[in-house]
């Protein structure tokens, strides 16, 4: 059974597929209350679009998680410790997901 936090995260993932990058109207790591309200309104729109288009939750969750991780790695220039903090997950979990989604070169710093 999902906890309240898991449900909210999965809901956000579900909604990402329809809006893509437009969903991120805020800057990491914090968002102003007005920006959060805007994102919530966008989520309502996205849910309707996804349901209408027959997008399955599992597909949306996987796609969103991959894109969310990729974006965090890009914004932290490939620093997995900082990206994990931005995502609110343990670094080992992030490392496992990077391998799972084959994101090894995303956001990597240039030597």
Ranges of the chain whose pLDDT falls below 50 = 1-2, 4, 25-29, 111
pLDDT tens digit sequence for 78-89: 999 999 999 999
- The answer to pTM > 0.95 is no
CA separation for the pair 83, 77 (Å, rounded): 9
pLDDT in tens, 60-82: 888 889 999 999 999 999 999 99
Class of domain 4-19+31-100: mainly alpha
Preceding amide of 29 cis, omega within 30: yes
User: Where in the chain are the domains?
Assistant: 4-19+31-100
Tokens of 75: 């914004």
């Amino acid at each position: 059974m999902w906890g309240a936090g898991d449900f909210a995260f999965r809901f956000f993932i579900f909604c990402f597929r329809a809006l893509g990058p437009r969903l991120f109207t805020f800057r990491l790591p914090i968002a102003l209350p007005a920006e959060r309200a805007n994102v919530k309104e966008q989520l309502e729109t996205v849910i309707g679009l996804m349901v209408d288009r027959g997008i399955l939750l599992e597909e949306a969750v996987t796609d969103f998680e991959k894109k969310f991780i990729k974006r965090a790695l890009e914004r932290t220039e490939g620093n997995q410790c900082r990206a994990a903090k931005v995502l609110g997950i343990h670094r080992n979990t992030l490392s496992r997901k990077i391998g799972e989604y084959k994101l090894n070169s995303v956001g990597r710093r240039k030597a």
